[in-house]
Amino acid sequence: MAGFFSRLKEGLNKTRNNIVHGIDSVFSGFSSIDEEFYEELEEILIMGDIGVNAANDILEKLRRQVKENHIKEPLACKDFLIQNMKEQMQVGETAYQFEQQQSVVLVIGVNGVGKTTSVGKLAGLLKQQGKKVLIAAADTYRAAACEQLTEWANRAGVDIITGSNGADPSSVVYDAVNAAKARHVDVLLCDTAGRLHNKKNLMEELKKMNRIIDREYPDAYRENLIVLDGTTGQNALNQAREFGETANLTGIILTKMDGTSKGGIAVAIQSELNIPVKYIGLGEKIEDLQKFDAEEFIDALFDVRKSDDV
């Protein structure tokens, strides 16, 4: 199987074709650095969904660097641009404490973003690390949701707690939390139904699930991971802001980065939300989920590391 870094690189092919090739054509198309040069760069960054604010910050810094270093050649800016993109994505250290402690992870988001798939992949990843994993099927609205998650549990080789169709999602969470305690589970992953922030009852239900976990398992390390679909561009940012009003978001799973040319959204998310992207989805298979690292992401995007890592 291809290595970790080359899979990331391959997954980002469409985004590279969009952003990096655009940037390269600006570098080769201009013989000197002028206002128009910066404007074209800015347009490419914004079209690539890096976001207006982040694009402005990155280019403002670049202008300073060009002055300070007396740069005349457009191509001589490239390393600065890459570095600025990395710096724009800094959110402090991204902790994966939940992997080391007994923990409960609630996976939330709107419909179709990849919650169930990500729970399955994450279960597989943690199982591979030797963790005892349990999955809870707290999307009880559709029978198909439970079947889909059961398939993922089988694929990952982990146990699953389900409720009857139409059961209160909180009761499934309750059962799962108590099973996790009784079975000495390391990580309990709770899949939930898709919900929109303006559906008040569904947002109340989300609060209730959080309350039950806190009450039944106060010692557990807690994570609320929101799943965002990388192909939805700036909408993803809004979803995170809206869910953040109801739940204490501790991280983001950014999915479908393999199918989009707008992978620049990762830059916008890290730079505007100050919530770390913890995992990135690069396909539909169990091995297509990776821990996210901003440096590595930009290196893979610009194809600047030649060798593959572990």
Ligand X SMILES: Nc1nc2c(ncn2[C@@H]2O[C@H](COP(=O)(O)OP(=O)(O)O)[C@@H](O)[C@H]2O)c(=O)[nH]1
**Given the rule CB under 5 A, which residues bind Mg ion?**
115-116
Does 259 interact with ligand X (rule: CB under 6 A)? yes
Q: Which stretch binds ligand X (CB under 6 A): 34-42, 76-84, 207-215, 252-260?
A: 252-260
Among Mg ion, ligand X, none, what binds residue 255 when CB lies within 5 to 8 Å by partner kind?
Answer: ligand X
| Residue 117 within binding range of ligand X, rule CB under 6 A | yes
Strand locations in the chain (E): 103-108, 133-138, 159-161, 187-192, 221-229, 251-255, 277-281, 289-291
Nearer to Mg ion, 116 or 255 (CB): 116
Q: From 53-61, 68-76, 85-93, 279-287, give the range in contact with ligand X by CB under 6 A.
A: 279-287
- Residue 147 contacts by C-beta under 8 Å, 6 or more apart in sequence? none
For residue 8, the minimal CB distance to ligand X (Å) is 12
260 binds ligand X (CB under 6 A): no
Indicate whether 205 belongs to the interface with ligand X (CB under 6 A).
no
Q: Which of 22, 194, 251, 264 binds ligand X (CB under 6 A)?
A: 194
Dihedral angle sign, alpha carbons of residues 49, 53, 57, 59: positive
Does 244 participate in binding ligand X (rule CB under 6 A)? Answer: no
Give 160's strand partners: 135
Task: State which of residues 103, 210, 255, 290 lies at the interface with ligand X (CB under 6 A).
Answer: 255
Contacts within 8 Å (CB) and 24+ apart, 161-166: 161/134, 161/135, 161/136, 161/137, 162/137, 163/137, 163/138, 164/140, 165/140, 166/140, 166/141
